Amino acid sequence: MTPLLSILLAIVAADAPEAVFAQANAAYGEGAHLEAARLYEQLVSDGVHDPVVFYNLGNAYFSAGRLGAAVANYERSLHLAPTFERARANLGHALSTGARQLARPLPPWWEQTVLFWHAPFSPRFSVTAAVVAWWGFWGLLCVRQVRPYAYSRVLLACSLLVAVAFGASAWAKSHPLELAVASHEEIPVYYAARPGNAVAFELFEGDRVRVEERHGGWVRIATADGRRGWVEVSAMTIVGPPYAPGPAAQPMDEAAGGAE
């Protein structure tokens, strides 16, 4: 192996997701929490959308005093893995340290009514269950055409119902409620999308709100109790997907405002 090839292989290995993840874990263990967050953010920007990565990123931000970014990443982790109890526990702990425990906005009424059962399932599970049930329906139908069997209609109806139910679940999970988390200590919420306008109310770091509309560098948000107004998007962390980079991945002047 030539020296040049060895160097190239070492560079590729150093940039592999596993190596970056190990570096991030090591930085966190050494107390370099923002450096750990930067490395986890690198993984996310490279397309590693894993609940453990988001969980670790939330831990790094929380340890660095960035409550808003921590809450947003715990939410991301739980969206991908709803039964991830450590992420749920850490989210609850992070929220309890905020100035106000504002309730999380609820999903649309139709999702609460029709899909009340699907919360424990991950997006991947819902997609897989829908595909398996759909092809199972067609397989059973083909078998029935060749050789009728007992309870064929019941089995066909059940498989079609499962396919439709999990198909609806998969769609809802791929179009989640658009959440944003307040990422500065106090954020004025204006009646209109411009500074200097009258302030309707304030958000505090860690508050979760629903994004209803975007306009330039502003978003119109709604709280769980129905209050609405406009805030500058730079003061919020959008939960996603897509996943916007947090303060550790931004230039220092843009990331200013969080506690160290």
Report how many domains make up the chain. 2
Question: Per residue in 94-112, pLDDT tens?
Answer: 999 988 888 999 999 999 9
Q: Identify whether residues 54 and 123 lie together within a single domain.
A: no
- Assess whether 96 and 114 both reside in one domain: no
Place of tokens 């715990």: 74
Verify that 94 and 39 share a domain, yes or no: yes
Specify whether 96 is located in the same domain as 204. Answer: yes
Label residue 6 by pLDDT band (50, 70, 90): very low
At residue 84, does pLDDT exceed 50? yes
Query: How much is the average pLDDT of 40-59?
Result: 95
Task: Flag whether 170 is in a domain.
Answer: yes
Tokens found for residue 10: 């070492």
Q: Is residue 79 part of a domain?
A: yes
Same domain flag for 91 and 114: no
Task: Read off the pLDDT of each residue in 8-37 and give the average, rounded to a whole number.
Answer: 81
What domain range includes position 155?
110-174
Q: Is the pLDDT of residue 53 over 90?
A: yes
Residue 140 CB neighbours (<10 A): 18
Residue partners of 70: CB distance under 8 A and separation at least 6: 58, 59, 61, 62, 94
Determine the angle formed by the axes of helices 67-80 and 123-146, rounding to 10 degrees.
Answer: 10
- Considering the domain boundaries, does residue 260 fall inside one? no
Distance between CA atoms of 5 and 149, rounded to whole angstroms?
Answer: 63
pLDDT for the residue numbered 16: 87
The domain boundary residue, chosen from 155, 174, 193: 174
235-255: average pLDDT: 77
Shared-domain flag, residues 135 and 195 = no
Residues 131 and 240 in one domain: no
pLDDT score of 259: 35
Residue-level pLDDT at 2: 52
Average pLDDT for 38-61: 96
How does residue 147 score in pLDDT terms, banded at 50, 70 and 90? confident
Do 187 and 156 lie in one domain? The reply is no
- My answer on whether 157 and 44 are in the same domain is no
Per-residue pLDDT, averaged over 54-67, amounts to 96
Could you tell me if 189 and 199 are in contact, meaning their C-beta atoms sit under 8 angstroms apart?
yes
| 96 compared with 194, residue with greater pLDDT | 96
Bridge partners of residue 209, in order along the sequence: 180
Q: Please, what is the average pLDDT of the chain?
A: 89
Within this chain, do residues 123 and 190 fall inside the same structural domain, yes or no? no
> Residue 212's closest CA among 234, 193, 196?
193
Q: Who contacts 102 (Cβ-Cβ below 8 Å, separation ≥6)?
A: 203, 204, 207, 208, 209, 223, 224
pLDDT of residue 92: 96
pLDDT tens per residue across span 174-190: 999 899 999 999 999 99
**pTM summary value:** 0.86
